[in-house]
Amino acid sequence: MLEVKGLTCGYDRRFLLQDINFKVRKGEFLGIIGPNGSGKTTLLRAITKVLRPEKGEIILDGKDINHYGFKELARKIAVVSQKVDSFALNLTVKEYVLLGRIPFRKRFQFLETRRDKEIAHKALAITGILSLAQRPIAEMSGGEKQCAIIARALAQEPQVLLLDEPTTHLDIGHQIKILDLIRKLNKERQLTVIIILHDLNLASEYCERLLLLRGGKIYRMGSPEEVLTYPIIEEVYGTLVVVKKSPVSSRPLVCLVPEGIQNASKG
């Protein structure tokens, strides 16, 4: 589905990402993890053509993304951002979600087609915010806003969904709700998901494979069991952890070790 080959990329000739190679299968749920500044968001921005790669290529469905038109690419890849821009807060949820149909509009086409409306309706329904459709975004809670952003991305009818820390500002209830929703979309629609997560335990629970970045390079790539081991995490994040098996899913569970306890166990 998506293949990144020898990607080197950065800002103003400082190369943040160096020689990145990986493949994502159709319908896969891939997590990208790594410390701050390791290049997670940069990688996402390269895939969406926000940044031009210095070297290497990114191949989507057998075709280099540089050979896609902007609209054509937007009909394949949708991005879920962290928050709604303040300039868009006056829109109603429905208007906001309908913006996701822009890649399908023609010039001078001002009205939504029936199909546009149906798709927006479905996106609102599956994200559970249909009842809020006529309300302004500004009045919604953080979790509801995140649902609206996902609904807008779904209105693009993408094959690949990219998410940049979609759960950062949410409580645990909403974190689970959002990730369950994404997993459901992944399973039911064969949607390929590439998601950046900071919370290693959420990454462990939901992702089939993890890509661990360190200093702009791939440090490890594999199943959560392969990547989330205590030597790897301590090396990359520079902090002590204890990795256990989750009693619920038997996936790796990363426990943090605060300084006080470190000293106590030494003593």
- The residues binding other proteins (CB under 8 A) are 45, 48-50, 69-75, 77-79, 81, 84-85, 87-88, 90-91, 95, 99-100, 102-103, 105, 107-112, 134-136, 156
Q: Minimum distance from CB of 52 to other proteins (Å)?
A: 10
Residue among 113, 99, 115, 45 at smallest CA distance from 77: 45
**Residue whose CB is less far from other proteins, 96 or 206:** 96
Q: Minimum distance from CB of 73 to other proteins (Å)?
A: 7
Class of residue 88 by CB neighbours under 10 A (exposed 0-12, middle 13-18, buried 19+): middle
**Residue whose CB is less far from other proteins, 90 or 131:** 90
Class of residue 11 by CB neighbours under 10 A (exposed 0-12, middle 13-18, buried 19+): exposed
**Residue whose CB is less far from other proteins, 73 or 194:** 73
Q: Minimum distance from CB of 237 to other proteins (Å)?
A: 28
Q: What is the identity of the amino acid at 257?
A: V
**Residue whose CB is less far from other proteins, 72 or 171:** 72
**Residue whose CB is less far from other proteins, 83 or 187:** 83
Distances (CA, A) of 265 to 222, 258, 260, 261, 262: 32, 11, 9, 6, 5
**Residue whose CB is less far from other proteins, 48 or 223:** 48
Q: Which residue has the tokens 């080959």?
A: 5
Give the rounded distance of the alpha carbon of 8 from its chain centre. Answer: 20
Instruction: Using the Cα atoms of residue 213, residue 218, residue 219 and residue 221 in order, give the sign of their dihedral.
Output: positive
Q: Minimum distance from CB of 110 to other proteins (Å)?
A: 4
Q: Which residue has the tokens 């569970």?
A: 253
**Residue whose CB is less far from other proteins, 53 or 100:** 100
Q: Which strands sit side by side in the sheet containing 217-222, from one edge to the other?
A: 77-80, 160-164, 192-196, 29-33, 209-214, 217-222
Q: Minimum distance from CB of 201 to other proteins (Å)?
A: 29
